[in-house]
Chain A
Amino acid sequence: MTETTFVRPEFRVKIDREACSECGRCVHQCGWEVYELNAEGRPVPDHAKCAACHRCVTYCPTDAITIEKNPLAYKESDSMSPELRKAVWRQAETGGVMLTGMGNDKPYLRIFDHLLLDACQVTNPSVDPLREPMELRTYLGRKPDAVKVEPGENGAAPRLATEFDPQLKMDTPLMFGGMSFGSVSLNVHRALAMAAQEMGTYMNTGEGGLHADLKPYSDHIVVQCASGRFGVYAEYLQAGAAVEIKIGQGAKPGIGGHLPGEKIDEEVSTTRMIPQGTDALSPAPHHDIYSIEDLRQLIYAIKEATGYKPVSVKIAAVHNVAAIASGVVRAGADIVYLDGFRGGTGAAPTVVRDHVGIPIEIAIAVVDQRLRDEGIRSRASIVAAGGIRSSADVAKAIALGADACAIGTVALVALGCHVCQKCFTGRCSWGICTQRPDLTRRLDPEWGAERLANLLNAWSHEIKELLGALGVNAVESLRGSRERLRSLGLDKETTEILRVKPAGMGH
């Protein structure tokens, strides 16, 4: 006899029996195995298995399925919410660490939603992006403090006399954040790479190596070197447009990664250079980095190996992020990639995802300010990620001091992700966070690339509208321009940390 669980199903699957044509498509579509056909050929749902991912709902030809929240009432308690009770029951049953996927879903203050952008009226004209040029081009990387110019001989035009480190040229200040092949499917990687190439931006391998199929796109790929060093070898580092050293991740600062053996099939195993079926464990720290000096050694080892390509260092937004970022820049990083506490993950302990780290808005503001105060802001670009949900967030992040933003979760949402937060199970019905061939084949890379490019295009147009309203025609004019932001409903300390004035206060 199976033991009865106290954890009752979160959702209820309702099938309209009159509408249902008993075609069995729901049975086939559901990666969670919610449905079984009974003796009469009718689909019967097992509510407990449902993740509310809507795959069956979307593909039901007669719209017969709907998913509802289980209305089951719990005795009211403000301190012991039903979620807490369920977590206790689950842990009492299993004795294990609670796992989850995607980003922090707790109702913390969303600072972006308390920031408002400025616009021009009368004294400064706004610019119409449909009639005037509007520039989003961004270069990421170390810039010299000044440009030196040599006078041209015999009246010829002056020439540049300053040497520049290689830069990442972006046509729009948006890129894709690191998501490894292994956590997501190869078709997701293909879609991201194609979209990055089309849009003149970059995708990021995450720490799972670079599959051979992606080599043609490598000019638009940032290759990652994380603590597990999976799939890292000389040609891999040389293949990318830049290399990213991943120190931390916003969803799980301070802890490593764990890709279960079930997701390590032949392709993943080859790409990661690890045996098939074994768990891929990324240590919490890099075992060769215990100080800024150690980080510097790795940065310069990578620069030597790649002919001085830009090196990005990804850190999670934690309490002391400004000082850490300053050290990272002094260690030689060309890009500091900040990942906020709402950043996504394929798998993380729920307790870490929901309780560790700080918001990206604050991290951008304090890092930008610190680097400016120390006179080293030009030495590195700032990429902000981990909680970027819309073009408005991008504009606000840039106004707070970021050079560009990276998106992960919303890119997956564009590909069909419904944020059911079950990525770690490897059974994603949308074929995104899985390696099961019957599921991954659901995502056509070309279809996905088009949707991703559409999303970047749409956001780029919206950013242009916002810039036009601000009366500027180049995105660099918004960077770090906190004077163009006002806060609404934030406490005084937070506005002081952000260095943003409250709404109603003029210049």
Chain B
Amino acid sequence: MFGYRCTLRTDTEVVTYLFDLMLRRHGLPVEMACRALASPFWEDIDRMPEEEKELYTALRMVYGSALLNGPFAIVLGMAEGMVALNDRIKLRPLVAARDGSRVFVASEESAIREICAKPEVSWMPRAGEPVVAKLRKPAALTQEVGQRND
């Protein structure tokens, strides 16, 4: 569908294609793509200020089939940074922390503290609320691969 062919038959593969569709092909900001995958509830949308309500209603109307309806916590790496997201009713755990210019995400805070004992802040993102960490200078993909090889 939409020119994608699932070969691994995993939900991770589907999520990757959905991000590709919305970010690369439709040009949506990553925060908005996340709001399509883990949409707020209609009763919350109805309470938003008019412009925001219009936008969120549009997102659900168009990307309703992309709603990842079930338990998940995912991390997406991209050239401009990374984003972590969990499902709209927080059936899977997600914790985030920041220490200086470093951002951590994990299922449990203990995992973060294992590599950063005292982060400046740590928090539990709300259901469906994306944690977006952007690089100051977006990395070129080839360069990233090169660095990894060093």
Contact = CB atoms under 8 A, between A and B. Distances in A.
A125 B71 contact: yes
B144 interface: no
Contacts of A151: 29
B70 A147 contact: no
B81 interface: no
B136 interface: no
A132 B69 CA distance: 13
Interface in A249-293: none
Interface string A38-81: 00000000000000000000000000000000000000000000
Interface residues of B, number: 34
Contact of B32 (A135, A147, A375, A476): A147
B62 A135 contact: no
A88 B63 CA distance: 56
B42 A137 contact: yes
Interface string A455-476: 0000000000000000111101
Given A474-B69, A480-B65, A147 B59 contact: yes
A124 B62 contact: no
Interface centre among B22, B32, B43, B61 (most CB of A within 10 A): B61
Interface in B24-53: 25-29, 31-32, 39, 41-43, 51-52
A472 B70 contact: yes
B64 A147 contact: no
A146 B42 contact: no
B65 A472 contact: no
A164 B58 contact: yes
B79 interface: no
Given A158-B55, A159-B55, A477-B69, A132 B89 contact: yes
A28 interface: no
Q: Is the interface of A mostly helix, strand, loop or mixed?
A: loop
A342 interface: no
Interface in B79-115: 88-89, 91
B42 A147 contact: no
A473 B42 contact: no
Contact of A471 (B32, B51, B69): B69
Nearest to A148: B27
A473 B91 contact: no
Contact of B51 (A159, A162, A167, A378): A159
B58 A147 contact: yes
A474 B67 CA distance: 9
B78 to A, nearest CB: 17
A32 interface: no
A92 interface: no
Contacts of B88: 473
Given A160-B54, A162-B58, A476-B64, A124 B89 contact: no
B1 interface: yes
A135 B88 CA distance: 13
A147 B28 contact: yes
B32 A124 contact: no
Given A137-B42, A147-B32, A471 B70 contact: yes
B77 to A, nearest CB: 22
A162 B26 CA distance: 12
Contacts of A474: 39, 64, 67, 69
A139 interface: yes
A146 B62 contact: yes
B88 to A, nearest CB: 7
A157 B43 contact: no
B51 A135 contact: no
Contact of B63 (A139, A147, A164): A147
The 8 closest A-B pairs by CB, nearest first: A476-B64, A477-B69, A146-B26, A472-B69, A160-B55, A147-B62, A139-B61, A133-B41
8 contacts: A137-B42, A148-B26, A157-B51, A372-B1, A472-B70, A473-B89, A474-B39, A476-B60
Interface of B: 1-2, 9, 22, 25-29, 31-32, 39, 41-43, 51-52, 54-55, 58-65, 67, 69-71, 88-89, 91
Given A133-B41, A160-B54, A473-B88, 8 more contacts: A125-B71, A145-B62, A147-B28, A147-B62, A149-B29, A471-B69, A473-B69, A507-B9
